[in-house]
């Protein structure tokens, strides 16, 4: 189902849309506007999906344990010492 709506375009937008129609890339100005809206919808949905994944990752990380600076340094030093021993250094 289509809905008639009045939209305002800048002169450059209208010229670009008319050129696309004249080149045969779209059947009408309405088709150009519809394609633009669909592209914007796809971009918005992709951004929303990416944000949802990032929010889930942050929530997962917040729920997990946190290693403090001292414990992190100690773990790093232990790992380095083990590697040195393993390589005879």
Residue 2 in any domain: the answer is: no
Return d(Cα 23, Cα 43) in angstroms, integer: 25
- Residue 3 in any domain: the answer is no
Do the domain assignments include residue 61? yes
Q: Which of 48, 44, 26, 43 is nearest to 35 (CA)?
A: 26
- Assess whether pLDDT exceeds 80 at residue 65: no
For range 44-52, the mean pLDDT: 98
Which residue pairs from 2-11 have beta carbons closer than 8 angstroms and sit at least 24 positions apart in sequence?
A: 7/33
Residue 55: inside a domain: yes
- Is 67 a domain residue? yes
User: 53 vs 71, which has greater pLDDT?
Assistant: 53
In a domain, 38, yes or no: yes
32 C-beta neighbours (distance < 10 Å), count:
21
Decide: pTM greater than 0.75: no
In whole angstroms, what separates CA 42 from the centre of its chain?
11
- Identify the domain containing residue 20 by its residue range: 11-86
Domain count along the chain: 1
Q: Quick one: pLDDT band at residue 63, thresholds 50, 70, 90?
A: confident
């Amino acid at each position: 189902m289509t809905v008639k709506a009045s939209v305002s375009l800048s002169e450059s937008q209208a010229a670009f849309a008319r050129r696309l129609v004249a080149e045969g890339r779209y059947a009408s100005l309405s088709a150009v506007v519809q394609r633009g809206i669909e592209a914007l919808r796809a971009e918005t949905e992709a951004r929303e999906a990416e944000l949802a994944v990032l929010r889930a990752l942050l929530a997962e990380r917040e729920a997990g344990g946190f290693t403090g600076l001292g414990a992190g340094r100690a773990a790093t030093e232990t790992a380095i010492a083990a590697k040195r021993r393993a390589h005879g250094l």
